[in-house]
Structure 1
Amino acid sequence: MLDIAPDQLDKILSGPTLIHLPGRKASPLFVSALVHGNEVTGLMAIQSYLKKCAGKTLPRALSVFIGNVKAAKHGKRMLADQPDFNRIWGVGDTPESLMAREALEQMKRRDVFACIDIHNNTGLNPHYASVTKKNDRFFQLATIFSRMVVYYIKPEGTLAGAFSRLCPSVTVECGLPGTDYGVTHASEFIKGVMRLDHISSQQVHDHDLELYRTVAIVKTPSGVSYGFGGEENVINYRDDLDRLNFRELPPGTSFGKVKAGFDSLPEAWDENWTEVTHKYFALVKGEIALTQPVMPSMLTKKIDIIRQDCLCYFMERVNGG
């Protein structure tokens, strides 16, 4: 199990699996991997951590959730007939939602200590943490991983959001899948949290926390062709779009061009799922131009990810925690 590749897991696991390992402290740390099948850093980080602990008693109990092994076999976020495994937690009544509910119940009974959900990005992003509560214990946990923290309340059904009702909970974004730095960073984060006696409720100082709030999700309209560079599609995003992640962009910044004769724009939706496209975008002489300052995150050039999830999120800075 500690050496198996993500795309081979389906040979030993029939589906999502929750594994409980004992430790000196009974209250377990919950760590999840492969919630999206193409995001492999979590599994590799858990394997790395457990290899280093071989023959030793873990400092506390550890519960490992291995998510979408079927999608991992094919290197996909999810398969065409599957829901997004990070939209099934605490919502819905599909078989996957019922599985997630049972995992939550098990962890509640075990008095879960904290939750770490490990993810990757498909575009160029710095490593950062995300939380669903503006709470000092959540910020304390998040800033062990990164001083850059994103606060969000939508989308619903996320693993970290569901666990936030049980314990301090954080999603960590570890850059592109499988990089040595991402695996090491996530593994060291697990190691650090496993060694904690408690998670402090003291306020995190402003100089230790760079806090952002998600204000909009950006999607490409359905039925509209799109791509990167070139001129053949209706929407032709600039080829270096993912290099704009976590940069404060001024009004007028171009996201790309729209084919002559069309007026399609990327769609922006706020946290109440109200369309706010024209709050952020305008078509100016064929260019997709920003109308106000924004900071994007999770910009990706992967067409399948844009189709399944989104183009990016827009954020704004939050003063203080």
Structure 2
Amino acid sequence: MLKRRDTLPEGFLEARAGELAAMLGGPTLIELPGERAAPLFVSILMHGNEDVGLGAIQRVLRAYDGRSLPRALMLMVGNVSAAAQGVRRLDHQPDFNRVWPGTLDHVGTVEAAMMAEIHERVLARGAFAAIDLHNNTGRNPFYSVICEHRPEVLELAARFARRAVLFRGVPGTQTASFAGHIPAMTAECGKPGSPAHEEAAARFVADVLESETLGGDREGGALDLYHTLGVVRVREDVSLSFAGEAADLSLAPDIDRLNFVETAAGEAFGRASHPMPLTMIDEAGRDVAEEFFAVEQGELRLARPVTPAMLTGDPQIVRQDCLGYLMERLAPA
């Protein structure tokens, strides 16, 4: 399933995400040389409709056209089949960011075997760091997701954005798979289709490529660090609406207005005829939805003050992934 290259295919630096399936023939690991041997590993298009990583990498590589990269680069171009259709994943596929080593739900799949092969190769080459570039579907500021509270990881996060989310609760993500091995993070770069977002992601990747070390003094001051309390999903047997149609759960279409906003207990998320239409799985794998939500007189409300993130009004994303996450603020890192 995995294609491997040591050069860029012709036309890659100008290609759109939807053209890569025909150009590459499938998920592809591209290993490019650089002045420092320990490579930076960057993954893009783990979700086919999140193209910020492609635009960022194209900008970085065009800037070095005709010159050596300051550090070797390992580039993973992920779900190109989904990108060809402009969707997160195809219906028959697992989520490419849930099949990395440590996955519980996708053991034995060809996708898990592919990511295990890449993971082994990245570690065998003594990678400097791992960066997974993503977009969000809802309104969110730039932020990173990390799985460790180590100086090297915190510096990597701080180079990207002021906000960072510490979360260890989704087995099979790329960032979680590298935790304890190399500095790793997910860079969440806002909504897709923005040249400004691509340029910001490109500056970050170029900065890390040019870095000699991680773990020293960080620029940009202390991080605004959050801890994820759990991932919120709509129960499979609960019908869902964002537009006011009759459903077991009718959520506000602008629910993403709450992302990274400290939100008080009692805040209404929508209307519900189900006694508890959500699950919320914490880092220990427990469903704690009833600790954080309550249905009162047909209104779904927060039971505790929290800070939401990644709330989305896209029903397909809700079904394929989640409604969002709830977080708590930590002391500055």
Cα distance in 1, alignment partners of residues 203 and 133 from structure 2: 12
Cα distance in 1, alignment partners of residues 175 and 169 from structure 2: 11
- Aligned position for 2:303: 291
Q: Deviations over 1:74-114 (max 9, x none)?
A: 11111111111001111322111111111111112211011
Equivalenced residues, count: 318
TM-score when normalising by structure 1: 0.96
Query: What are the ranges of 5 or more consecutive residues in structure 1 without an aligned counterpart?
Result: none
How far the C-alpha of 1:166 sits from its partner, in A, is 2.5
Q: Which amino acid aligns with 1:186?
A: A
Cα distance in 2, alignment partners of residues 222 and 102 from structure 1: 33
- Aligned position for 1:237: 251
Shift in CA distance, 36/220, structure 1 to aligned 2, threshold 3 Å: same
How far the C-alpha of 1:134 sits from its partner, in A, is 0.9
Secondary structure of the structure 1 residue equivalent to 2:119: helix
Alignment of 1:194-209 (within 5 A): 194-201=209-216, 207-209=221-223
Query: What are the ranges of 5 or more consecutive residues in structure 2 without an aligned counterpart?
Result: 1-11
Cα distance in 2, alignment partners of residues 308 and 199 from structure 1: 35
How far the C-alpha of 1:276 sits from its partner, in A, is 1.1
In the alignment, is the contact (CA less than 8 A) between 1:24 and 1:60 conserved in 2? Answer: yes
Cα distance in 2, alignment partners of residues 207 and 279 from structure 1: 34
- Aligned position for 1:9: 20
Q: CA RMSD in A?
A: 1.5
- Aligned position for 1:258: 272
- Aligned position for 2:187: 172
Cα distance in 2, alignment partners of residues 180 and 320 from structure 1: 31
Q: 4+ residue stretches of structure 1 with deviation over 6 A?
A: none
Cα distance in 1, alignment partners of residues 76 and 45 from structure 2: 8
Cα distance in 1, alignment partners of residues 221 and 307 from structure 2: 20
Cα distance in 2, alignment partners of residues 289 and 11 from structure 1: 47
Q: Residue 116 in 1 paired to residue 116 in 2?
A: no
Q: Deviations over 1:237-277 (max 9, x none)?
A: 01210111000100100001124xx4343222212221111
Cα distance in 2, alignment partners of residues 3 and 251 from structure 1: 48
In the alignment, is the contact (CA less than 8 A) between 2:169 and 2:285 conserved in 1? Answer: no
Q: Residue 99 in 1 paired to residue 114 in 2?
A: yes
Cα distance in 2, alignment partners of residues 170 and 3 from structure 1: 27
Q: Which amino acid aligns with 1:146?
A: A
- Aligned position for 1:160: 175
Alignment of 1:139-150 (within 5 A): 139-150=154-165
Secondary structure of the structure 2 residue equivalent to 1:12: helix
- Aligned position for 2:229: 215
In the alignment, is the contact (CA less than 8 A) between 2:153 and 2:215 conserved in 1? Answer: no
Cα distance in 1, alignment partners of residues 120 and 166 from structure 2: 25
